[in-house]
Amino acid sequence: MSLIRPFEATDILRFHAVNADPWTATYHNGYYASYVAQWPSLCYSVQGAYDDEVRAYMIAKDEPAPPDPQHHGHLTALSISPPYRGLGLARVFMAMLERLSSDGSAGWPPQARDGTDCVDAYFVDLFVRCNNHRAIDMYEKLGYSVYRRVVDYYNGMEGVGSTRDELDGLDMRKSMPKDVDGSYVRANGREVLVSPEEVWA
């Protein structure tokens, strides 16, 4: 048993069981606090039922502010501690993010379809290491596709190796209902190579 609740700034004192994972980056304290301050409705934790340890979390945002035509939901971090994997928690988090990033008609839960707390963006995206096959497989199952490969996206990050697949990141996307003609996704994204500067431009 576990509880899904909003991510709190003090969760950084309780999430070591999650961040002890080599696929999970740990940022400075202010990074997490800025998400709680700016996008509290897009950040959630899973807490075990019998103590206050954090077992999983998702941190996300929406940017750039509407009516910018690139307005999208962005998954910044998603991590489930090993004993809590395979229970569907990542699927639930992603469905929550999709509902909140859409007009309310995508994702989950179905009883909250009115969309008053939703941002109605064009798509949801995320970056994932090219060698994180488990996560890439999962995102593909959930309907995400590669939009572009960002060369050296993870270069310089602590704990990252030196092979091309360790250094590069995939930018994966899923259209939300507002992208009616699918113009924010593409079929041949693995062949589209870009630099990090192009992503941040």
Ligand X SMILES: CC(C)(COP(=O)(O)OP(=O)(O)OC[C@H]1O[C@@H](n2cnc3c(N)ncnc32)[C@H](O)[C@@H]1OP(=O)(O)O)[C@@H](O)C(=O)NCCC(=O)NCCS
Residues that bind ligand X (CB under 6 A): 21, 23-24, 78-80, 85-91, 126, 128, 132, 134-135, 137-138, 141
Tell me how many helices (H) and strands (E) the chain has.
6, 8
Q: How far is the CB of 78 from ligand X (least distance, A)?
A: 5
Q: How far is the CB of 103 from ligand X (least distance, A)?
A: 24
CA distances from 163 to 26, 32, 142 (A): 21, 29, 27
Q: How far is the CB of 114 from ligand X (least distance, A)?
A: 26
Burial class (CB in 10 A: 0-12, 13-18, 19+), 125: buried
Closer by beta carbon to ligand X, 120 or else 130: 130
DSSP string of 136-182, one letter each residue: HHHHHHTT-EEEEEETTTTTT-TT--SSHHHH-EEEEEEE-TT-TT-
Q: How far is the CB of 180 from ligand X (least distance, A)?
A: 27
Q: How far is the CB of 130 from ligand X (least distance, A)?
A: 11
Closer by beta carbon to ligand X, 79 or else 101: 79
Closer by beta carbon to ligand X, 135 or else 146: 135
Tell me the C-alpha distance between 97 and 115, whole Å.
12
Closer by beta carbon to ligand X, 80 or else 96: 80
Tell me the C-alpha distance between 121 and 108, whole Å.
16
Closer by beta carbon to ligand X, 59 or else 120: 59
Q: How far is the CB of 116 from ligand X (least distance, A)?
A: 27
Burial class (CB in 10 A: 0-12, 13-18, 19+), 165: middle
Closer by beta carbon to ligand X, 13 or else 20: 20
Q: What is the DSSP letter of 134?
A: H
